[in-house]
Amino acid sequence: MADSAAVGSSGIDYIDSLIYGRKWDGTALTYAFPDTAANVGYDLDDESDFTALSGGEQTAFEAILQQWARVSGLTFTQVAAADAATADISVYWYRSPDNLTARVVGFPDNSVEAGDIQLGSGINGGQLGTAGSYSHFIAMHEIGHALGLKHPHEAINGFPGDSGVPVELSVMSYVSYTGGSLGAYSIADGSYPTGPMMNDIAAIQYLYGVNTNALTANLGDTTYTFDPTASVIFQARWDGGGYDTFNFASYATNLSVDLRPGQWTDLGGQYATLETLDANVLPLGNIAIPYLHDGSAAHLIEAAYGGSGNDLIVGNEANNLLRGNGGNDTLRGGAGTDTLVGSAGQDTFDFSDGVASSNTVSDFTADDSIVLRDAVVGGIVRGDDGAALAQGEAGFAWNGVYNVLYVGLDATAGSDLQIVLANSTVFDNLSLSGNTISFIADTVAPVFESGSGPADNAVSVARDATPTLTFNEEVLAGTGDFIIYNVTDQTVFKTIAANSAAVSGWGSYQITIDIDPDGLTPLPYGAEIAIHWDESAVRDLAGNPLAENSSDTLYSFTANVRPTATASAADVAHTAAGQTSYSFAVTYSDADGTIDGDSIDTNDVTVTAPDTSTLTVTGVSWNAGSNTATYTVAVPGGNGWEEALEGAYTVSLVEDEVTDNHGDGVAAAADADSFTVDLTVPPTDPDPDPDPGPSLPPSTDTSVGGMDVATRYSIDSSGRQIETVTITPNGGQQTTQGVPLIGPANNPVLSGNLPSTVSITVTGPSATVANSALGGGLLAEVPSGIVLPQGASLPVLSTVNPDAPAEGLMRVITLTPSGTGDPGPIIIEGSPDSGQASAIVLDARGLPSGTVIQLNNVDIAIISGEVVINGGAGSTIVLGDAGNQNIVLGEGNDHLNGGAGNDTIGSATGSDTLLGGDGDDSVFGGMNADSVMGAEGDDILRGGKGHDSLDGGAGDDILYSGFGNDTLTGGEGADLFVLRGYDANFAGAALTATITDFEQGTDLLAVENASLAELETAIASQTATEAGVIIQVAGASLTFLGVAALTEADIDQAFYV
């Protein structure tokens, strides 16, 4: 036998008026039908009044128990008659003189007799199974008492009484109808409620919860049908979940269906007789909708279908489907996104409640009407999208799929109510009078509103453009034509039939014309184009034709102008006889667009020798700032011009290879430019006073493409031989590739791709230096004026790159602007095949801030100047000076130190050591396991995709974890740890960060891709370990070492603003 428990007030009158004050302490109850008086477990006044229920009576009573179980969390299990004393509810006949109908022996408590029901002489056992009968009703009433419900008019145990609650609302009532008096029932037999009513359901669910049993609670999508031939329908209908439907399609009466909780459906008949002496007393309705338990919308009825009468159907807060079927129906949705289907008849779609929502009317047709709350301003429906509507204004526009009626309901500009008209209703079908919109016949021709893709008067239009025409309503194809007219030369360019496959979008507000469907006849370059049409080309859904257009200005645009090119090739003199490659420039221009840099490649040009053979184009570089491409060809023979033919070489442009942003190409040019190869050596004057001087290598002067290269040698004060290479632009070409910087021209240690706007001096000792001494030696070569960190040092090269050559060369490379153009990009590239390591001081202080310098396969570099360093092939050691530098290298295991200044230091690939140095730096990891460090200053550190280690050092730093198993140490200062949560773009990320020194009260935390509420929930459920605490949030596992317990005070609230 279950224990009992006290019940507190719900605070809701219609529930509290039924609560006795005690209930069973559990939902799994037992019942029994004792077969002897002794089985009940307590003394009866007269055991001769005891009788056991028959088998049929037991079956009927069990069905009534299930009425209560079906709407609540209760379950009932039968125990043997002999065990009745242990059952929560025992039911037996007890026809004593003082038990004329039936009674409960006791309300739920811990006694044996609590919950037991005695059926008296006024109950007809044969009617217990007849829903609507008096006996069925009384049994249901007494079960309510056994479960803890009282009469609503009684005030018991501190719970209020309400004598105005009728049987229509509660089977526990002694008031037969609304407004009736308290006393004996005046209800006709067969007219009693067939189950618990709406107040009963609310009260029993307050005590025991709702039914969640998939077999009994109708949790799925359920359709409820009702029998129009039944004499009486008087019930409350509760549903457990799913998308559910009331289907009254078989009814011919005028129905009033209301799906809102606490409301009634009136079937226009089949009424219960609640006052046998007065036929004018009618119930509140036939079918009651119970109140929602805890506000759960899962228990709503979502759809209702009317019959053939003139029905009123009212929706609720769910997304309702309301279908009127036959008759002149009125459909009124609720607060959800509703679909209203009037079907046959003159139907009214009622939105007069003024609820802001989005709804669909599927069949707004002739004789139908839409009623609004207050749409009277101006007395018209405007043809717009509702963005600026005031209260009482209505707009009408196409949303890309359907026409939509937009309604303003308040003083804030814009649409509050949207009604999708999901059929062929058009603007001209609407007639607004007062607050009612009626459907009228469309006799108004469509109107062209605008052109787009390209816009009217657009220039630089792609020659394969597909213009779109927008109208004020849906349009269909006629039998006429569109004329694509060339305004520039006053000719018809093309005629396109409206009903051809080249015109799409019919049946909507917009149609699109494919002017060049086969790709063979694009628009003429630079031509002004107008779109014309004849009167039979376009019609609306009612057949009204669009007026003819022959205007050159209604909708026109200008096609793209073709890009052009100018080639510039310098002659080849004897000084370049040993060159094995040759470069020339082509400058491109586009009067109304931009050149597509991605279209630049080695197929753009051809170079023809005097014997008509073709030279191989081996490379090209693109300068987007000057729109200049520098092409490099291989000199015939491979050993320099001395083996090639002298004479004129012709540069040609290939048709449509280089294109603009619209895809249009440069025209072919068979003789874009030419250059002459003449290797004749001019005579020179002898040296009048030869002086052999010290034993030094001879000076050399040569030209490489657009650069003159002068090499000189000297002896410094310490007796070292110093090599100085001076590289000066000679105007021959925009960019020169492969200029030797260190080492012989045929196998340089370093070479450069240099723009014509930069001069370079490369100086340093000719002798090689051991690998282990390169770093220290290079620090000694740093020119005065370059400020390095105090006590600066460089790691031994072999510790960063074990495969580096045993010896290397040191140089100071000074870059100086020699013109007004963009000095970048500058490429300095080492040769892994040279057998020598390279160590350079790159003095770029003279270059503009932000100049891009690319380093590839450079072993050690000290950087001076506020430049951008990228590239990064090979493992590189880099040290910055006091400037603000941006240093991000790629593949290889690099060691980068930004030095002083506010630097950006980063990695693309490789397992790198990244140090921001002094200043407020931004340091970020790349694809592999990196060591990311700040130092002095307020730094921002970011982990990458590998398993990274982050250390902020001194200062107030921000540390972002990455996608791996990262370790984060804030160091001194007030640090912010921003930890990464789940990101759908990186679904496989590990996301297991460890924070080693989180100082509560000083440091703060935040989690990306997690809301503040999610983080607070994670902290509330944190896991404590011996090492610290762990929180699980947004797919991440975050460990805070040395922390006893995180609190909400540790969260950076500003991060979530």
What pLDDT sits at residue 717? Answer: 83
**In this structure, are 18 and 129 located in the same domain?**
yes
Last residue of a domain, one of 559, 578, 594: 559
Give pLDDT tens digits for 194-205: 999 999 999 999
The answer to whether the CB of 24 falls within 8 A of the CB of 88 is yes
* pLDDT at residue 1022 greater than cutoff 60: yes
Mean pLDDT of the chain: 92
- Closest by CA to 656, choosing from 647, 646, 666, is 666
- Read off the CATH number of the domain in which 511 is found: 2.60.40.1220
Q: Which of 400-414, 785-799, 963-977 has the highest mean pLDDT?
A: 963-977
Instruction: In whole angstroms, give the CA distance from residue 424 to residue 403.
Output: 8
- At 314, which amino acid appears? V
Last residue of a domain, one of 533, 559, 585: 559
* pLDDT at residue 385 greater than cutoff 90: no
Last residue of a domain, one of 559, 588, 614: 559
Is residue 24 situated within a structural domain?
yes
* pLDDT at residue 685 greater than cutoff 60: no
- Closest by CA to 724, choosing from 814, 634, 617, is 814
- C-alpha dihedral, 632 to 635 to 641 to 643, nearest 10°: 180
**In this structure, are 355 and 233 located in the same domain?**
yes
* pLDDT at residue 689 greater than cutoff 70: no
**In this structure, are 483 and 429 located in the same domain?**
no
Instruction: In whole angstroms, give the CA distance from residue 395 to residue 397.
Output: 7
Q: Which helix (H) or strand (E) holds 216?
A: none
Is residue 133 situated within a structural domain?
yes
605-608/614-615 β-pairing? antiparallel
Is residue 888 situated within a structural domain?
no
What pLDDT sits at residue 384? Answer: 77
**In this structure, are 627 and 553 located in the same domain?**
no
* More confidently predicted of 199 and 853: 199
Is residue 155 situated within a structural domain?
yes
Instruction: In whole angstroms, give the CA distance from residue 532 to residue 266.
Output: 60
Instruction: Look at residue 202 and give its three-state secondary structure.
Output: helix
Give the number of other CB atoms < 10 A from CB of residue 1057. 6
Is residue 782 situated within a structural domain?
yes
Helices (H), 740-840: 774-780, 797-800
Burial bucket for residue 981 (CB in 10 Å: 0-12, 13-18, 19+): buried
* pLDDT at residue 822 greater than cutoff 70: no
Question: Which residue has 């400020």 as its token pair?
Answer: 787
* pLDDT at residue 693 greater than cutoff 70: no
**Strand locations in 707-748 (E):** 707-715, 721-729, 735-742
Instruction: Look at residue 1047 and give its three-state secondary structure.
Output: coil
**In this structure, are 769 and 653 located in the same domain?**
no
Residues of the chain with pLDDT > 70, as a percent, come to: 98
* pLDDT at residue 102 greater than cutoff 60: yes
Is residue 929 situated within a structural domain?
no
Q: How confident is the model at residue 643 (pLDDT cuts 50, 70, 90)?
A: confident
The answer to whether the CB of 853 falls within 8 A of the CB of 842 is yes
What pLDDT sits at residue 1024? Answer: 94
Q: How confident is the model at residue 825 (pLDDT cuts 50, 70, 90)?
A: confident
- At 361, which amino acid appears? V
Give pLDDT tens digits for 72-101: 999 999 999 999 999 999 999 999 999 999
The answer to whether the CB of 883 falls within 8 A of the CB of 789 is no
* More confidently predicted of 733 and 348: 348
Average the pLDDT over each of 494-498, 565-569, 817-821 and give the range with the smallest value.
817-821
Instruction: In whole angstroms, give the CA distance from residue 341 to residue 36.
Output: 61
**In this structure, are 574 and 554 located in the same domain?**
no
Instruction: Look at residue 585 and give its three-state secondary structure.
Output: strand
Instruction: In whole angstroms, give the CA distance from residue 1045 to residue 1000.
Output: 10
Instruction: Look at residue 823 and give its three-state secondary structure.
Output: coil
Instruction: In whole angstroms, give the CA distance from residue 841 to residue 848.
Output: 18
Q: Which helix (H) or strand (E) holds 1017?
A: helix 1012-1020
Instruction: In whole angstroms, give the CA distance from residue 412 to residue 500.
Output: 46
Instruction: In whole angstroms, give the CA distance from residue 311 to residue 325.
Output: 9
The answer to whether the CB of 757 falls within 8 A of the CB of 626 is no
**In this structure, are 181 and 310 located in the same domain?**
no
How many domains does the chain contain in total? Answer: 6
* More confidently predicted of 833 and 464: 464
What pLDDT sits at residue 127? Answer: 97
- At 306, which amino acid appears? G
What pLDDT sits at residue 378? Answer: 66
**In this structure, are 731 and 866 located in the same domain?**
yes
245-247/303-305 β-pairing? parallel
**In this structure, are 606 and 707 located in the same domain?**
no
Q: How confident is the model at residue 820 (pLDDT cuts 50, 70, 90)?
A: low
Report residue 967 CA to chain centroid gap: 30
Give pLDDT tens digits for 839-852: 899 998 888 888 88
The answer to whether the CB of 786 falls within 8 A of the CB of 883 is no
What pLDDT sits at residue 573? Answer: 87
What pLDDT sits at residue 1055? Answer: 93
Give pLDDT tens digits for 747-784: 898 888 888 888 899 999 988 988 888 888 888 888 88
Q: How confident is the model at residue 426 (pLDDT cuts 50, 70, 90)?
A: confident
Asked, as a colleague might, if the bond just before 755 is cis with ω within 30 of 0, I would say no
- Neighbouring residues of 379: CB distance < 8 A, sequence distance ≥ 6: 432, 433
What pLDDT sits at residue 382? Answer: 78
Question: Which residue has 């895809």 as its token pair?
Answer: 663
Question: Which residue has 């790709």 as its token pair?
Answer: 519
Residues of the chain with pLDDT > 90, as a percent, come to: 66
* pLDDT at residue 961 greater than cutoff 90: yes
Instruction: Tell me the catalytic residues.
Output: 142
Domain that holds residue 108: 4-208
Find the angle CA(652)-CA(658)-CA(662) to the nearest 5 degrees: 150
Give the number of other CB atoms < 10 A from CB of residue 445. 18
Is residue 952 situated within a structural domain?
yes
**In this structure, are 79 and 62 located in the same domain?**
yes
Give pLDDT tens digits for 591-623: 888 999 999 999 999 999 999 999 999 999 999
- Read off the CATH number of the domain in which 430 is found: 2.150.10.10
Instruction: In whole angstroms, give the CA distance from residue 503 to residue 496.
Output: 8
Question: Which residue has 């309604």 as its token pair?
Answer: 407
Tell me what the mean pLDDT of segment 256-282 comes to.
97
Structure tokens at 324: 């009127």
**In this structure, are 660 and 774 located in the same domain?**
no
- Read off the CATH number of the domain in which 30 is found: 3.40.390.10
Is residue 728 situated within a structural domain?
yes
Q: Which helix (H) or strand (E) holds 687?
A: none
**In this structure, are 646 and 498 located in the same domain?**
no
